Chains A and B, each alone.
Chain A
Amino acid sequence: MALSTHTTTTGFLLPSIHSAPPFFTQQPNPTTQSIASEQWIRLILSYARHRRLFTLRVEDAETAGNDWDEVLRNERINRRVLPSYLSAIIASMAAKNVAAYEPPKQNRSALLYWRLPEEWAEVLHEWAISTGQLNTILTFYDITDPPIESPLTNIPLPLLRKAITILAKTNRAQLIGVADGEGVRFFAGSK
């Protein structure tokens, strides 16, 4: 019964509740279940942040051998999250606006907002300023795969587009159509 935290091979500190077998079972009692999913969401988001993972699929619970193994399975207590339970967790994340189904209109896979789009927008703008790329046109590829690693490396395009849209609302960025895709131009930011 004495539950303890555990550090995974990737250096992530799992909470003690991850060692409790009931954590992996969907609880019929709504009060209990709300607490459980709260902990799950927190665990998933912090792990995603730790591993810089952006998507979570229901399939991740079905088979072993993917990025989410350390969270969705606990070999030490012989428990795993059932796909149905993971699907329910994702649904509750989408409802709490900490994830969004991506692509939309399905519920098998979701984009995780371990930073909200507004936060990403700020990150993106700061990155543009810090690298001196204001007023120049950048392709999405330049942002997601810059020569120097940035917080935005590998950011999924839908999330990037959302962040740019938010910046555009405050006139700090402009979405431009270019010949081979889309581009963006950042501005200094004026209210």
Chain B
Amino acid sequence: MALYRYTRPVDGTIPVQALLYNDEELLASQEGVGVYNGLQKSPAHQSGTVHVTTHRLFYIDRKRTRNSFALDLGYVTQTEYYAGLFKSSPKVTLHLASSATSSTSNPSSSFNPSTSSTWECDVCAYRNPPGLSPAAARICGLCGVPRGSVPSSSSASSTPPSAPSPLSAATITMHHDPEEGIPCPACTFLNHPSLRTCEICGGSLPRPARRRQHSTAASKSAPSSRPGSLYNSDLDADDDEDGEEDGEEEGGGRGEGGEVGMIKISFRKGGDKPFYNVLKRSLKGKGWEIKGYTSRTQTGNSSEPERNTIGRSGISGILRTVETSAQGRESNMKDALSDLEALMVKAGDMVRLAAELNERLTAMSSSAAGTVSSAYSAPGRTGLPEPEEATFIRSSLSQLGLQMTNAPVTLDMMKDERKWYEGLARELAGVLQGSNDGRGKEAAGMMKHRGIIALDEVWGGWNRARGVALIPPQTFLLTLPLLPAHTSPPINQRTFASGLSVLHTPPYTAAAFASRLSGLITLSGPMTTMGISEEERLTVALAGEMVAAVETDGGVCRDDAGCFITGGGVGFGGGEVRWWLNVFSGYVWDGQE
């Protein structure tokens, strides 16, 4: 079945990070998942952690780490998301490309380098490091020429992984004991089995024939990647050793070898949505394609992989990438524009319909009015009520924003408007004072810590809170008079002499502020506007406006620093006005007569 055809076992005992290719990146993980093989639960994979990387999807079983596997994202053709219902967990379905197995038909035709060892480029002699993803490992990291494109007589003997036979062993990693390495005949250093020369002394290492078979399989670390197209032979090897456990499932898998496979991941412990998003992004990013080869292009034109690879590297490769991305962008744009055009056509229809309706209504009401007014002349046409349906239709039209110019504003519509303003006022009250109802304290409200706030800020904040269907300033101003009825303590509007309008709570009425200000001055002496603004936690401009209002009422008087004899002033900023209590009111002459 799909699970066994597409996936490849990995060693679940080592952390996922260590299983990654060098150019692979772990994007997200989610524990508590189960895997469905096709439509059935896969009993061996019911409790584990799933990781998504730029290249692959890993499943690491929690208990039986042997059941862990990796799935190349390149096989995934389509994903589905199921949100879950009652006891059924959310699931993500991965549809896998049916062509994935086609490349296995002629494994010898395509070149399958093992990524677990270094190899030397035939062209530039660059020693490519192990650990790259299969796609990236196919081409030389330095010159971009695909590996093996130049037939080399020495490749068979010099590069062990070039032989197809060890590849079958590459997947059996977990059943092997870690290789102790190859002792150097010169210095006896135990070298990594994949090395051909001694790391210490540089002498060439012996390659025992028996060892060679498993030299690549021995590396348990990251690069234990899958030579994708040879999977069937891998499976065989796996089955041979692991047959007693997975025997019956594998048998089923053989049965439906040819059809399109799918795998479901069931999220028992949630986390499905973010994971699905990451998965989608990873699929979109096509990280496994970036370096050149993809499993799909390979299967598409497996006969000429070399040409493809060459085209993908170097300057021509860059040019082609740019071209492709430009094409993609263009097609996306075209799609979007065609959508928009369709919408516009529909909107035109809507407007036409509205106009027709409105005309018909006007004609009907005028004819009705004509007949009625001929019957009794005194009240005139103004008193005639329109049919209820007509007003309803018109008000609905106006609510849709399709109001015709010749459509009168009916009482019905007015009623709706009033209701609308009421609703707006209620909403604004929520924005200003916070909505405590329902789910606890989610919004603090703009005026939670401030008693006074300028209108422009309120308008901006409100519209930001709305996000859509923004309120025009006119509507905003019409809403304000209704605000005190919906707020507690009531929030009132106040306009200063300069024309600045604010919303304020009771502590900021003129009288309350004046008394507080006089108390403040009595307590701490004459103050500048700046000091008052600090004390009151207002902006300087706003404090200035409020003090000016108090001055107009005669509550305070000014002491201008311009009247200083020396300098701009002593101790405080020059040119500034300090506010005093009104020393003149109630003053009785106590000087010389």
Interface size grouping (class) on chain A: 35 or more
Contact B563 A35 (CB under 8 A): no
A24 at interface, CB cutoff 8 A: yes
Selecting from A39-47, A98-106, A118-126, A161-169, the interface stretch reads A39-47
Contact A24 B563 (CB under 8 A): yes
A20 at interface, CB cutoff 8 A: yes
B593 at interface, CB cutoff 8 A: yes
Distance of B227 from chain A, by nearest CB (Å): 90
Contact B589 A15 (CB under 8 A): yes
Q: Which residue of chain A lies nearest to B521 when distances are taken between CB atoms in the complex?
A: A1
Hey, what's the 0/1 contact readout for A44-76 against B, CB within 8 Å counting as 1?
001100100000000000000000000001010
B558 at interface, CB cutoff 8 A: yes
Selecting from B145-153, B353-361, B392-400, B576-584, the interface stretch reads B576-584
Contact B587 A22 (CB under 8 A): no
B301 at interface, CB cutoff 8 A: no
Q: Which residue of chain B lies nearest to A6 when distances are taken between CB atoms in the complex?
A: B591
Q: State in angstroms the CA–CA spacing of A17 and B554 once bound together.
A: 17
Distance of B517 from chain A, by nearest CB (Å): 15
Contact A32 B525 (CB under 8 A): no
B427 at interface, CB cutoff 8 A: no
Q: Which residues of A contact B591 (CB under 8 A)?
A: 5, 13-18, 42-43, 46
Contact A81 B563 (CB under 8 A): yes
Interface size grouping (class) on chain B: 20 to 34
Of B554, B559, B560, the contact of A29 (CB 8 Å cutoff): B554
Q: State in angstroms the CA–CA spacing of A85 and B560 once bound together.
A: 12
Q: Which residues of B contact A47 (CB under 8 A)?
A: 592
B551 at interface, CB cutoff 8 A: yes
Of B554, B559, B569, the contact of A32 (CB 8 Å cutoff): B554
Q: Which residues of A contact B566 (CB under 8 A)?
A: 78
B512 at interface, CB cutoff 8 A: no
Contact A21 B578 (CB under 8 A): yes
Contact B560 A25 (CB under 8 A): yes
Q: State in angstroms the CA–CA spacing of A12 and B580 once bound together.
A: 26
Q: Which residue of chain A lies nearest to B592 when distances are taken between CB atoms in the complex?
A: A13
Question: Given A17-B583, A78-B566, A80-B565, A39–B589 Cβ distance below 8 Å?
Answer: yes
Contact B590 A16 (CB under 8 A): yes
Q: Which residues of A contact B592 (CB under 8 A)?
A: 12-15, 46-47, 50
Q: Which residue of chain B lies nearest to A16 when distances are taken between CB atoms in the complex?
A: B590
Question: Given A18-B591, A46-B592, A36–B559 Cβ distance below 8 Å?
Answer: no
Q: Which residue of chain A lies nearest to B558 when distances are taken between CB atoms in the complex?
A: A25
Q: State in angstroms the CA–CA spacing of A93 and B105 once bound together.
A: 116
A28 at interface, CB cutoff 8 A: yes
For chain A, residues 86 to 140, give those with C-beta under 8 angstroms from any C-beta of chain B: none
Q: Which residue of chain A lies nearest to B570 when distances are taken between CB atoms in the complex?
A: A78
Distance of B557 from chain A, by nearest CB (Å): 4
A23 at interface, CB cutoff 8 A: yes
Q: State in angstroms the CA–CA spacing of A16 and B593 once bound together.
A: 13
Q: Which residues of B contact A79 (CB under 8 A)?
A: 559, 563-565
